[in-house]
Amino acid sequence: MTETDSSLDTLARARPAPLKALGERLIGALGDIEVIQSRTGLVMLPMRDTAHGTAFHLGEVLVSEAHIRARGIDGYGMRRGRDLEAAMAMALVDLALSLEVEPEACRAFIAAEAKLQAAADDETLRKVEATRVKMETF
């Protein structure tokens, strides 16, 4: 499995409203920001075929992307779906963490969202586990 950055993973799935609120709060503290990209677009998603090992394209996913820069440091956000403000908020939090701007607030937000996401996954998987077949052999 691919190793990923857990903070960015969490931000990409964070609830839009609280994420936007945090992003809004960070704008003033970050100072001048250059917006390099703020757009929707597609990410092509390939998959591995288990029969022959071939990589092939399943199709494209709609995403929102934000790429910003301040003091020579990049902030980046990409989230599934059509929400440019949420992608921008993700980029602002990412940039704030890199520049150590309100890092405690950002880390606390990410930790809280990660906990919610883990709880949601746990709930889903406990329901999935309820459908496990307990085989008996006669």
Question: What does the binding site for another protein look like in residue numbers (CB under 8 A)?
Answer: 1-5, 8-9, 12-13, 39-63, 65, 67, 74, 76, 78-82, 94, 121-133, 135
Find the shortest distance in angstroms from Cβ 39 to another protein: 7
CB of 28 or CB of 135, closer to another protein: 135
Find the shortest distance in angstroms from Cβ 27 to another protein: 20
Sequence-distant (≥ 6) Cβ neighbours of residue 69 within 8 angstroms: 33, 34, 36, 75, 95
Residue 90, judged by CB atoms within 10 A of its CB (0-12, 13-18, 19+), counts as buried
CB of 28 or CB of 126, closer to another protein: 126
Cα–Cα distance for residue pair 93/8, rounded to 1 Å = 9
Find the shortest distance in angstroms from Cβ 98 to another protein: 8
Helix (H, G, I), strand (E, B) or coil at 70: strand
CB of 28 or CB of 127, closer to another protein: 127
| 66 strand-pairing partners | 38, 77
